[in-house]
Amino acid sequence: MTLRVHRQISLKPCNSFAVEASASHFVEACSDRQVVEALAYAQAQQLPVLLLGGGSNLLLTGDVDALVLRMASRGIRVLNDNGQQVLVEAEAGEPWHPFVQWTLAQGFAGLENLSLIPGTVGAAPVQNIGAYGVELKDLFAGLTALDRLSGELREFSLQDCAFAYRDSLFKRESGRWVILRVRFALSRAAALHLDYGPVRQRLAEQGIDAPTALDVSRAICAIRSEKLPDPAVLGNAGSFFKNPLVSTELAQRLCTEHAGLVAYPQTDGQVKLAAGWLIEQAGWKGFREGDAGVHCLQALVLVNYGKATGAQLLALARRIQADIAQRFAVELEIEPNVL
Q: Give the fold, CATH level 3, of 6-71.
A: 3.30.43
- Short-list 226, 191, 237, CA closest to 212: 191
pLDDT per residue over 274-332, tens digit each? 999 999 999 999 999 999 999 999 999 999 999 999 999 999 999 999 999 999 999 99
Residues of the chain with CATH 3.30.43.10: 6-71
Of residues 56, 73, 168, 239, which has the active-site annotation? Answer: 239
Tell me, what DSSP letter sits at residue 64? E
Give dist(CA 282, CA 266) in Å, integer.
25
The residues of the chain that CATH labels 3.90.78.10 are: 235-338
CATH topology of domain 76-187: 3.30.465
In 300-324, which positions are buried (b, 16+ CB within 10 angstroms) versus exposed (e)?
Answer: bbbbbeeebbbebbbebbeebbebb
Residues in contact with 137: Cβ distance below 8 Å, sequence separation at least 6, in sequence order? 128, 158, 161, 163
Reported as type and span, the H/E element at residue 52 is strand 49-52
Q: What band does 197 get if pLDDT is binned at 50, 70 and 90?
A: confident
Mean pLDDT on 115-143: 95
Look at residue 1 in the predicted model and tell me its pLDDT.
55
Segment 230-255, tens digit of pLDDT: 888 999 998 899 999 999 999 999 98
Span(s) in the chain for CATH 3.30.465.10: 76-187
Query: Residue 209 and residue 96: Cα distance in Å, rounded?
Result: 28
CATH of domain 235-338: 3.90.78.10
pLDDT reported for residue 60: 96
pLDDT in tens, 212-226: 999 999 999 999 888
pLDDT in tens, 40-78: 999 999 999 999 888 888 999 999 999 999 999 999 999
Whole-angstrom distance, CA of residue 141 vs CA of residue 194: 23
Q: 99 pLDDT band (50/70/90 cuts)?
A: very high
239 an active-site residue?
Answer: yes
Strand order in the sheet with 301-304: 235-239, 301-304, 292-294, 288-289
Q: What is the pLDDT of residue 313?
A: 97
On the CB side of 143, CA atoms within 13 Å amount to 32
Among 70, 148, 166, 183, the one annotated catalytic: 166
E strand intervals along 136-281: 140-147, 153-156, 177-187, 235-239, 245-246, 263-265, 271-273
Tell me the pLDDT of the chain averaged across its residues.
Answer: 94
Tell me which residue of 78, 74, 34 sits closest to 183, measured CA to CA.
Answer: 78
Q: Count CB-CB contacts under 10 A for residue 86.
A: 22
Q: Would you say 313 and 330 are in contact if contact means Cβ atoms under 8 Å apart?
A: no
Work out the widest C-alpha separation in the chain, in whole angstroms.
64
Radius of gyration of the chain (CA): 20
* DSSP SS3 for 184: strand
Interval 121-136 mean pLDDT: 94
Strands 22-29 and 64-71: parallel
Answer yes or no: 166 catalytic: yes
